[in-house]
């Protein structure tokens, strides 16, 4: 599209879960489907941006018009994001695993020494590291998936991670957000909180991209 709202801009999006290996055949993961992140990448491409989508393992096809890079672990995701910078906008929609195991070289066999215990170490925070890094995009957007104290957690995240905007959504059991088709979000910035209606993930993506275009055009978040 010529003359799209994000024409001439580079947008980097992370999406999906990460997989953290325990041994050559097992991993730690989470319930992220990648639907929201992929929808945002597709919407940004439709708005004329050059889009780099960095995706964990998902059951979705690569969205049209994006350069999609497939990774598995959080550390690989961070490396791919850093390699994709500089960018004008960074949207961290991935559900990055907070911890990883020190993976065993060989498959852990059962019945040898009872159940193995996993010692976990913290993964890098991709959003915080991009937000505070030397190549910080002009607009940095994070997500907050919480089961309680949604807005307070989102505001705290805004400060802790140094981003400009947090898309907060309730992922309590029964909301159907994880893997579902719709999402109900609150847009949290230092300027305040905006409650959005329940929307299809594609429509939320369109609306978010329209807002990002406004913000990067000079309006304060
Ligand atoms: O505090 P929490 O980790 O839940 O924050 C979620 C936000 O941070 C999301 O935007 C997610 O993509 C990002 N994140 C990240 N790297 C991590 C953990 C979270 O980029 N290791």
Q: Residue 218: pLDDT band by 50, 70, 90 thresholds?
A: low
How many angstroms separate the CA atoms of 25 and 22, rounded? 8
Please give the number of the atom of ligand 1 that sits closest to the Cα of 163. Answer: 10
| % residues pLDDT > 70 (the chain) | 95
Q: What pLDDT score was predicted for residue 179?
A: 67
In this predicted structure, what is the pLDDT of residue 147?
84
221 pLDDT above the threshold of 60? no
DSSP state of 107: P
Pocket of ligand 1 (CB under 6 A): 14, 74, 92, 94, 96, 123-127, 142-144, 157
Q: What is the pLDDT of residue 182?
A: 86
Strands (E), the chain: 10-15, 20-23, 26-28, 50-55, 66-70, 89-92, 99-101, 120-122, 139-146, 165-170, 182-189, 192-200
Going by pLDDT thresholds of 50, 70 and 90, the confidence category of residue 190 is very high
Question: Distance, CA 97 to ligand 1 centroid (Å)?
Answer: 8
Which ligand 1 atom is the nearest neighbour of the CA of 153?
1
pLDDT, position 181? 85
Work out which ligand 1 atom sits closest to the CA atom of 127.
20
Confidence of residue 220 (pLDDT cuts 50, 70, 90): low
- 137, with CB counted inside 10 A (0-12, 13-18, 19+), is buried
Is residue 98 annotated as involved in ligand binding? yes
Residue 177: pLDDT over 80: no
- How far is the C-alpha of 40 from the C-alpha of 177, rounded, in Å? 16
Residues 107-136 have pLDDT tens digits of 999 887 788 889 999 999 999 999 999 999
Distance CA 33, CA 178 (A): 7
Q: Is 123 a catalytic residue?
A: no
Largest CA distance in the chain: 64
Q: What is the pLDDT of residue 35?
A: 95
Please count the CA atoms within 13 angstroms of the CA of 4 that sit on its side-chain side.
Answer: 19
pLDDT tens readout for residues 15-64? 999 999 999 999 999 989 999 999 999 999 999 999 999 999 999 999 99
Q: Where are the alpha helices (DSSP H) in the chain?
A: 35-46, 74-84, 126-131, 150-161, 201-216
Distance from Cα 112 to the centre of ligand 1, integer Å: 37
Residue of 94, 152, 160, 165 with the most ligand 1 atoms within 8 Å of its CB, for mutation: 94
């Amino acid at each position: 599209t010529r003359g799209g709202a994000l024409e001439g801009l580079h947008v980097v999006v992370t999406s999906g879960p990460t997989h953290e290996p325990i041994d050559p055949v097992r991993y730690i993961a989470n319930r992220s489907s990648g639907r929201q992140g992929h929808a945002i990448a597709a919407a940004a491409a439709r708005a004329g941006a050059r889009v780099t989508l960095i995706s964990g393992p998902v059951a979705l096809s690569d969205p049209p018009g994006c350069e999609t890079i497939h990774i598995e672990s959080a550390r690989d995701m961070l490396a791919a994001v850093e390699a994709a910078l500089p960018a004008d906008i960074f949207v961290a929609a991935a559900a990055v695993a907070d911890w990883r195991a020190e993976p065993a070289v060989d498959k852990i066999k059962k019945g040898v020494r009872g159940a193995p215990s996993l010692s976990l170490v913290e993964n890098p925070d991709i959003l915080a590291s991009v937000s505070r890094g030397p190549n910080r995009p002009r607009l940095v957007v994070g997500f907050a998936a919480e089961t309680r104290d949604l807005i307070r957690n989102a505001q705290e995240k805004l400060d802790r991670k140094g981003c400009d905007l947090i898309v907060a959504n309730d992922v309590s059991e029964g909301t159907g957000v994880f893997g579902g088709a719709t999402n109900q979000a609150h847009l949290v910035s230092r300027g305040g909180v905006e409650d959005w209606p329940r929307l299809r993930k594609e429509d939320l993506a369109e609306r978010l991209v329209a807002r990002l275009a406004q913000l990067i055009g000079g309006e304060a978040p």
